[in-house]
Amino acid sequence: MENKELLKELSLAHAPSSREDKLYALIKEKFSAFGEVTIDSMNNIIIHKEGNARGKVMVMAHADEIFLLVTEILNNGVVKFKGVGVDPKSLVAQEVIIHGTKDILGIINIVKDINKAVTSNDLIIDTGYSKENLEKIIKIGDFITIKGKFVELLNSNVACKTIDNRGSIVAMYQCAKELQNIQHDLDVYFVCSCQEEVGHRGAKIATYNLNPDIGIAIDTTFDSGELGAKDRENIIGNGPVICHGPNLHHKLNKKIMFIGDKYGIPYGVEVEPGNTGTDAWDIQVSRKGVPSMLVSIPIKHMHTPVELVNINDIKNTGKIIARFIENLKEDELEELLCF
């Protein structure tokens, strides 16, 4: 229940790329029991959980969400916009919040009947304001986010906006809880990274500054069930997914899968021969190179207002990473991290 309530709070918060500071107070409240919570100049939120100071492992989950931006204010309180990462066809009839000098509620609609695929150019936001009054509150360039609704479904499934990637922050919280009463050799830096959705910018900065021995990115991946991705076998409810490919360190992957088997924590595997499209891509090439892993939570309906996840997958993601960290020993690091 604790994880579900935290996921609800995080998912219903509004923190688009470059506005991750909007989550700082909530994350500080929830994570301060585990260590010092700070925020850097880029809006990366960092929690330092002390170990035995025999190395550093960074666990990263991006905090930002996909968003829209105001591009034009028309007559009758109508707003035009551009989106980042949003599937336009999922936006029709959605409630959104325009973040001006105060928050304005709006409804997205189609400009006119069309017989083609919907693009953002075909959509408008109706606010009910006059243009004159609206221009006193919002301006071109203001952020827009989905209002969102948290829905509890059967079999420990829930749906909401921004499960990508607030679900992964909850997994980090679970990991921190698991480690709270465990002696671990490496210091742990939990990073809620900024601007992943627009180019993994926070990952670049945080990894460079922290210079960890190991970097672990937590993100979401596509479920492969009915209506899901057919190029993989990621089933919601079957645990986290360990990604394999050149972006990821094969010995670390082997170790975390051993840990899953040892402790009876379910997991799946997927393959990405190129860019994983996650913070792991930039973690790997920071400074002299950082051995990296990508542990993903399978979800349905990614980048829509109704992303669906299984709460147990979030919990098991945190558990497998915690057990992995517990089993990292200083005298084994050199051999483990050598290709």
What residue numbers does the annotated binding site for Zn(2+) cover? 62, 164, 197, 219, 303
Task: Measure the CA–CA gap between 277 and 290, rounded to whole angstroms.
Answer: 17
Task: Measure the CA–CA gap between 261 and 317, rounded to whole angstroms.
Answer: 14
Residue 212 and residue 224 in contact, taking contact as beta carbons nearer than 8 Å? no
Cis peptide before 155 (omega within 30 of 0): no
DSSP state of 76: G
**Is 233 one of the annotated active-site residues of the chain?**
no
Catalytic-role residue among 178, 196, 270, 307:
196
Residue 242: closest CA among 62, 250, 323: 250
DSSP state of 278: S
Distance of CA 199 to the CA centre of its chain: 13
Amino acid at residue number 99: H
Q: What are phi and psi of 216, to 5 degrees?
A: -120, 120
The alpha carbon dihedral of 209, 214, 220, 224 has a sign of positive
Instruction: Work out the burial of residue 93: count CB atoms within 10 Å of its CB; fewer than 13 is exposed, 13-18 middle, 19 or more buried.
Output: exposed
Which residues are designated catalytic? 196
